[in-house]
Amino acid sequence: MNTEKPTHLLSPKRFVLLIGVVLVIGIGYLVLDDDDAVATTSQTATVENVEGQGQQPVNNSSAPVKAPSPSAVKQRTAADVAIVDSWFDEVGYSTELRKTYDQQYSDEQLKDLADTGDIIAIDTLLERIFRKNNLEFEAKLKALIDAGDYVGIQQLGTIDKEYIALAEKGIVYGSYNAISALARSVGQVPSPDDSPEQKQQNIQSLREQLAFMGVMKMRGGGELYSTDILKEHMLNWYRKDYGEEPLSAEDHEWINNRTHELYNHYQAKRHELGLGDFDNEPPKEVKEFLGE
């Protein structure tokens, strides 16, 4: 076994850090400054508005949600609640439904439902694969680190093909969580100790990740997933570790072009299935709820 660490491979320390980052991004939480605070909500619960009248639908998905501003909060009718809840379900943003599916269906049953375009089934499977892979990843990583098998560590970081295929199916059928899953899958962890080669690879991963976040915005999920806040924190992370601006004007142009390329690709897949164009316009009740 070759125990000499190749310079282009990620160190065990970085892989340990990567686990933490994947887990944090995977469940959708961000460590934010007070000025960037966001709120999460629960879909099946309701809360009274600031005047003590009416109810607001809330969604307890683990992804960050922009908190409605006090001036935007108004009395919600039962019809408003139903429209917002229905839209959350349509884009796969329902932890309650995912929990129900997770408790009631086997992997094979979920796969059958996913083949019919059931977004909740797709997202539930993605969540299961993510949990399973991370548990296995941690156990295998520890064994490889103890053995000094750096080649094995690098191979361990290979993206799960089943996960990618399932996420792409979810995007085609309209899932926001599936877009987030693919953005997460291409992410890397920068380090001040990166070699020029590793730095270049990480910058390319960042460009691809931001392109998927651009798709999220085009699909109407930018506010729901706080993509602008997340983008700025990612860039600040790279600025801190690399000591310079990570992206050039050419990089930003590439990201914009790649965003439209990805969007057009998935929309073409929808057309092949007879699904028509993406519906990127949330109902006004949803916009009001999010405080847009």
pLDDT given for residue 244 in this prediction: 94
| Higher pLDDT pick, 292 / 30 | 292
29 within domain boundaries: yes
Instruction: Give the per-residue pLDDT at 259.
Output: 97
Signed CA dihedral, 83, 84, 89, 95: sign only = negative
Total domain count, the chain:
1
Confidence of residue 63 (pLDDT cuts 50, 70, 90): very low
Report if residue 1 sits inside a domain: no
The answer as to whether 2 is a domain residue is no
Find the largest Cα–Cα distance for the chain.
69
Task: Please indicate, yes or no, if residue 123 is contained in any of the structural domains.
Answer: yes
pLDDT at 114 over 60: yes
Higher pLDDT residue, 76 or 100?
Answer: 100
The answer to the question of residue 5 being in a domain is no
What are the pLDDT digits (tens) for 191-234?
A: 898 899 999 999 999 999 999 999 999 999 998 889 999 999 99
Q: Percent of the chain, pLDDT > 90?
A: 42
Domain that holds residue 240: 12-285
The mean pLDDT of the chain is 76
CB neighbour class for 37 (10 Å; exposed up to 12, middle 13-18, buried from 19): exposed
Q: Pick from 203, 160, 157, 204: which is nearest to 182 by CA?
A: 160
**Whole-angstrom Cα distance, residue 224 to residue 290?**
7
Instruction: Look up the pTM and report it.
Output: 0.69
**Backbone phi and psi for residue 47, each to the nearest 5 degrees, phi listed first:** -130, 150
Mean pLDDT for 248-259 is 97
